[in-house]
Structure 1
Amino acid sequence: MYIDDKGGYHFTDTPKSADYIPTPHLEAPRPPVQSGMRYTEIIKSIATTYGVRPELVQAVIRVESGFNPTAVSRAGARGLMQIMPVHIQKHRISDPFDPRQNITAGTRYLSDLLKRYNGNLNMSLAAYNAGPSRVDHYNGIPPYPETRQYVQKVLSCYKQYRRMEK
């Protein structure tokens, strides 16, 4: 699968470019949601504060919530970056559905994970999805299909956002 700069999906079983990502049994990432544009400045500001690329934060939000600030997962994660209740308390978030608070907490957590895993994006994203204890236990991406698919989706979106910024 390949997502072009305009968000178009291209599928093939004979890729002729390195842009194609193998996606066995992988649901395609959600297309960009126009409402996400309203968070661009907040994302850039907070990402800069925590030393995380804004495109990575955008990719995480896109995969986690599709830019829906009121999203709630069946596990209880809330808001744009799907902050778990334990992190809501830890980061003293008064309103997990407030975009600025949610993006701040999620980006801070992502920054902490990137530091913990020495900038290893795959392990950091896996830890964001499955938890650092599971990544540590397996010394890498856990063998959970959901987590492996999550990492691939975020990386695909991240790559797309990076191309858009050029």
Structure 2
Amino acid sequence: MTASAKVAAGARSLGGTLAHGIVAMAHNSLALVGLLVAFCALTLFSRADLRNAGEDYLRTWLQARQESAIDAGDAAADSTGGTDTNIIAAVDRATATNPQQLPKNQAAVAYWLAKKYRVAPEPLAVLVSEAFQVGKETKLDPTLILAIMAVESSFNPFAQSSVGAQGLMQVMTKIHTDKYEHFGGHFAAFDPVTNLRVGVKVLQECIQRAGSLEGGLKYYVGAANLPDDGGYAAKVLAEHFRIKQVANGRSNPAEPPAKPSLSAKASVPATTMPAVQNKASEPAAPADGATATVALVDKSGAAVAQPAKTESTTVSMGS
């Protein structure tokens, strides 16, 4: 055998020996690891205190990693102006939708109201959709609900009157606080959809109490025990007439037919009629020194009469 052949044979023998040793070491290492895992498992199973300590350590470590990730996200938000999560939350909070996604008649109403009252059509689309849904639930014409919002607040969800009527439907929040409890409290009065639903509930109660729609509107505006409502019901019904035409497909609604005022007295000249302010809720002042009976009325229809001196009486009723 030549020298080169002997070297090759020795190298192969050495290689085989090393490989065999590595395999043996690997088998022994795996066996050792297995024995170690089994031992740890048996120890933890038998020692509840060690097991609990290990769980606490692992939980603390995971929480620390999570907090680090949140801090890193906040730092990125500060540098970029916000995170995707914040953006999604803001969109979810917005009371707006695409009017083109509504049924054709509702979309027409949304666009018409948006143009007339100079309000964006996207939030109006939500209100129109909600009015139709609530109207279906309560058996009220949705265009009537929209007409009341138009007359009361011109679709300003943050409107407030001098006597505390708030929101789209100008609900007396302090009087109807109980109706907002289901929605999380009285601050929900400034949520457009919540105010709409509470306002409709108040309107239902007013109509039921009065026995008619026009009478219910008189209760709603706070003129239940006044001679007339200053034209409030007529104004609401006129806007209802227009919106209903738009919902029925007419882009340029006609004006409603004029109706003579039932409260007007032909024998009394127009110049002598009492001035009506704040939607007929504030009675005219009598002559100096005279005593007036001032009607205290809220939108729930409750009314109390009390005598008051003209010079010390300043009463403004609900809307």
Separation in 1 of the partners of 2:180 and 2:155? 22
CA contact (8 A) 1:113 1:127 kept: yes
Higher helix share: 2
Aligned to 1:72: 160
- 1:161 aligns to 2:243 (yes or no): yes
Give the aligned residue type for 1:40: V
Number of matched pairs: 128
What's the offset of the Cα at 1:104? 0.7
- RMSD over aligned CA atoms reads 2.3
CA contact (8 A) 2:180 2:189 kept: no
Separation in 2 of the partners of 1:117 and 1:163? 27
The structure number with the bigger radius of gyration is: 2
What's the offset of the Cα at 1:53? 0.8
CA contact (8 A) 2:153 2:169 kept: yes
What's the offset of the Cα at 1:86? 3.5
- 1:112 aligns to 2:194 (yes or no): no
What's the offset of the Cα at 1:154? 0.4
Separation in 2 of the partners of 1:48 and 1:148? 30
1:60–1:66 Cα change, 3 Å? same
Q: Which runs of 5+ in 1 are unaligned?
A: 8-30
* TM-score, scaled to structure 2: 0.37
Separation in 1 of the partners of 2:237 and 2:179? 26
Moved over 4 A (4+): none
What's the offset of the Cα at 1:113? 1.9
Equivalent positions of 1:15-26 (< 5 A) are none
Q: Which runs of 5+ in 2 are unaligned?
A: 1-108, 249-319
Give the aligned residue type for 1:126: K
User: Percent same amino acid at aligned positions?
Assistant: 26
* TM-score, scaled to structure 1: 0.68
Aligned to 1:127: 219
CA contact (8 A) 2:153 2:167 kept: yes
Aligned to 2:45: none
Encode CA deviations 1:74-127: one digit per residue, 9 max, x unaligned.
111110000102343131352100012101110011122222233x22111111
SS of the equivalent of 1:68 reads coil
